[in-house]
Chain A
Amino acid sequence: MREIVYYGRRYPLGVIGAIILIVFVLTAIFAGVVAPYDPLTTNARASLAAPSQTYWIGADMMGRDMLSRMIHGSRISLAVALGATCIGSGLGALLGLASGYLGGWFDLIVQRFAEIMQSLPLLVMALVITASLGPSLVNTIIAIAIPLIPNVARVIRANVLSLRELNYVEAARAVGMGQTRIALVHVFPNTLAPLIVLATAQLGSTILTEASLSFLGLGVPEPYPSWGRMLSESAAEYIRSAPWLVIFPGLAISLVVFGANLFGDALRDVLDPRQGD
């Protein structure tokens, strides 16, 4: 507790980021309680209603309450952010650990694969993968997780390479410990700090990628209210007639990603000062 206060004083921006993230997570968990209306109930008379006391930030084309849709939309963003980050970082860490510790041909193959995957932009990779798997929430998560793997694998591998040469690993080998056990018990825990830093840094970009995919109509399908898709439904035509349909979902995305970035930066400074920026 005292540590939290200490770091909180030193990194006020990180605290702001953490607060934004906590509010976001709570909103997602209690969406059903917080939202004033059902996000899927349509109401022809409220079509494109301007912000008012009934509809705080207006209603969309089909008369669905925007605020309720945005509150429920946070669930999609959270699910994608957590899911893709965990899968991507987990698999990446495992591959990085294995290729850094084992070396040899396995390392060579993993390296080449990472190179192949990194020659395509994240969004292009995610687009092609969703196109091939078909649109669904799980597939969107997979499509965003896979392009994250090579970067994590590389960082963890580099870390493992330097750890492997340290005295205590040598000592563990000398007392006759098995390779797998050394890798898991002695090397892996020491890669956790950079792994956590890397994973938090990616939270924001997973949310942005989901938003872009959904905006392009290739992300999370109806009827889930995704922030990105709310923008594409409303896009160009509503710029003149119903600007609130464009402003608020984008604001929600930006705010959450901003919070994740602030928190990620502070966390990096605390856990892994060497990485710097």
Chain B
Amino acid sequence: MLQYILRRLGLMVLTLFGVSVAIFLLLRIVPGNIADILFDSAGLIDPAEKQQIVADLGLDLPLVTQYAHWIAGLAHGDLGYSYVSEKPVLDEVLPRIPITARLAGLALLFAVCTGVPFGVVSAVRQNTWLDYGLRVMSLAALSMPSFWLGLLVLMAFVNWFGLLPIYDKAPATWGAAILMYGVPAATVGFRSSALIMRLTRSSMLEVLRQDYVRTARSKGLSERAVTFIHALRNAVLPVITTIGIETAFLFGGLIVTETVFNIPGVARFLVEAIRWRDYPMVQNLVMFIAVVVVLVNLLVDLAYMFVDPRIRLRT
């Protein structure tokens, strides 16, 4: 067990190293240079001033040196300065993390709380109209761009309640907080919910065919006990794995949803940083995302071993 965790941690470090090199190089083959943009936007004309900007930002150093500076900084918790706001990257990013984390947590909660029950219903009532309806619904949910769903939700709120639940300042009351986080979270989570439903359904169907389910039935257990105690407990295992994969998907959804609902989170910030070619910001944000995704996947695998003794025996 310990050996397994150590091996995974080692692989994780290797992967993150690869991500850091890839991102670093990718951002430096860019045609438009940040120095040009800053130079133009400041309305400067003197080429010497441009040289000054390049030197100040350290853009004239060899790539390897720039990379080493970045990694060394990371190790010390110094993420450098934003090219655009000239504030430390850490100060810009840290306050945004809880906002996105809350959204992501709520979205996952929504996805699991709706996806699993609907999946179970769909499997138990296989090939009935209810099942068909739920399956078509889930496929439709997977087909909708989440930013469009967000826009539709906003439109509904405008029409029915005459208000826009978009973020303007930190919510003061609990009600406001639920509205401000809950609505966007449900919008992002809708897609994951459909995915979890489909997975729960197929996994339930698989489990319901097993011998131990027949045994449970034949010893006279109620259908409810068979479904929820014997079948669901085993069917839900693969769903845990998807939650790991879903965090990555969820982040993609959060990028557009935070933009639609005007939420000052990490995901929307990444888009802004990319538009501004703010290298230090982009590379640190992407690194942060990679760390989160890799960590969640590790945790999910460990959780899996914890809940399913069959896997623990195999490793």
A208 CA / B191 CA spacing, docked (Å): 12
A122 CA / B146 CA spacing, docked (Å): 14
Query: Which residues of the other chain, B, contact A218 by a CB distance below 8 angstroms?
Result: 271, 274-275
| Nearest-Cβ distance from residue B61 to partner chain A, whole angstroms | 19
Q: Are A120 and B289 interface neighbours, CB within 8 A? A: yes
User: Interface code A228-264, partner B: CB below 8 Å = 1, 0 otherwise?
Assistant: 1001000110011001001101100111011011100
> Of the candidates A121, A127, A134, A253, which one forms a contact with B249 in the assembled complex, judged by CB atoms under 8 Å apart?
A121
Query: Which residues of the other chain, A, contact B198 by a CB distance below 8 angstroms?
Result: 277
> Of the candidates A116, A216, A246, which one forms a contact with B22 in the assembled complex, judged by CB atoms under 8 Å apart?
A116
Q: Are B275 and A239 interface neighbours, CB within 8 A? A: no
| Stretch from B29-37, B65-73, B217-225, B303-311 forming part of the interface with A | B29-37
Q: Are B289 and A253 interface neighbours, CB within 8 A? A: no
Q: How many residues of B contact A (CB 8 A)?
A: 54
Query: Which residues of the other chain, A, contact B164 by a CB distance below 8 angstroms?
Result: 239
Q: Are B27 and A121 interface neighbours, CB within 8 A? A: no
User: Interface code B228-267, partner A: CB below 8 Å = 1, 0 otherwise?
Assistant: 0000000000000000000011011001100110100000
Q: Are B155 and A123 interface neighbours, CB within 8 A? A: no
Q: Which residues of B contact A (CB under 8 A)?
A: 11, 14-16, 18-19, 22-23, 26-27, 29-32, 136, 139-140, 142-145, 147-148, 151-152, 154-155, 158, 164, 166, 198-199, 202, 248-249, 251-252, 255-256, 259-260, 262, 270-271, 274-275, 277, 282, 286, 289-290, 293-294, 297
Knowing that A132-B29, A276-B202 are A-B contacts, what are 11 other residue pairs whose CB atoms are under 8 Å apart, sorted by A's residue number?
Answer: A119-B297, A121-B248, A121-B249, A131-B277, A239-B154, A246-B155, A250-B148, A253-B145, A253-B148, A255-B143, A258-B140
**Contact sample, A vs B, 9 pairs, CB 8 Å cutoff:** A113-B18, A121-B252, A122-B252, A129-B26, A208-B145, A212-B255, A215-B147, A243-B155, A277-B198
Query: Which residues of the other chain, A, contact B136 by a CB distance below 8 angstroms?
Result: 13
| Nearest-Cβ distance from residue B257 to partner chain A, whole angstroms | 10
Query: Which residues of the other chain, B, contact A60 by a CB distance below 8 angstroms?
Result: none
Q: Are A262 and B151 interface neighbours, CB within 8 A? A: no
A173: Cβ under 8 A from any B Cβ: no
A128 CA / B28 CA spacing, docked (Å): 11
> Of the candidates B14, B275, B290, which one forms a contact with A112 in the assembled complex, judged by CB atoms under 8 Å apart?
B14
A8 CA / B175 CA spacing, docked (Å): 51
Query: Which residues of the other chain, A, contact B144 by a CB distance below 8 angstroms?
Result: 250, 253-254, 257
A13 CA / B137 CA spacing, docked (Å): 13
A115 CA / B290 CA spacing, docked (Å): 11
User: Interface code A98-122, partner B: CB below 8 Å = 1, 0 otherwise?
Assistant: 0000000000000011011111111
> Of the candidates A124, A211, A231, A243, which one forms a contact with B286 in the assembled complex, judged by CB atoms under 8 Å apart?
A124
Q: Are A123 and B252 interface neighbours, CB within 8 A? A: yes
Q: Are B30 and A254 interface neighbours, CB within 8 A? A: no
For the A-B complex, the count of residue pairs with Cβ-Cβ distances under 8 Å equals: 150
A217: Cβ under 8 A from any B Cβ: yes
User: Interface code A152-180, partner B: CB below 8 Å = 1, 0 otherwise?
Assistant: 00000000000000000000000000000
Q: Are B202 and A120 interface neighbours, CB within 8 A? A: no
> Of the candidates B15, B26, B31, which one forms a contact with A134 in the assembled complex, judged by CB atoms under 8 Å apart?
B31
Q: Are B289 and A231 interface neighbours, CB within 8 A? A: no
Q: Are A116 and B155 interface neighbours, CB within 8 A? A: no
Q: Are A112 and B15 interface neighbours, CB within 8 A? A: yes
> From B28, which residue of chain A is reached at the shortest CB distance?
A132
Q: Are B27 and A128 interface neighbours, CB within 8 A? A: yes
A65: Cβ under 8 A from any B Cβ: no
Q: Are B31 and A231 interface neighbours, CB within 8 A? A: no
| Nearest-Cβ distance from residue B9 to partner chain A, whole angstroms | 14
Q: Are A123 and B140 interface neighbours, CB within 8 A? A: no
Q: Are A132 and B22 interface neighbours, CB within 8 A? A: no
Query: Which residues of the other chain, A, contact B166 by a CB distance below 8 angstroms?
Result: 236
Query: Which residues of the other chain, A, contact B249 by a CB distance below 8 angstroms?
Result: 121-122
| Nearest-Cβ distance from residue A188 to partner chain B, whole angstroms | 28
Q: Are A120 and B286 interface neighbours, CB within 8 A? A: yes
Query: Which residues of the other chain, A, contact B155 by a CB distance below 8 angstroms?
Result: 239, 243, 246
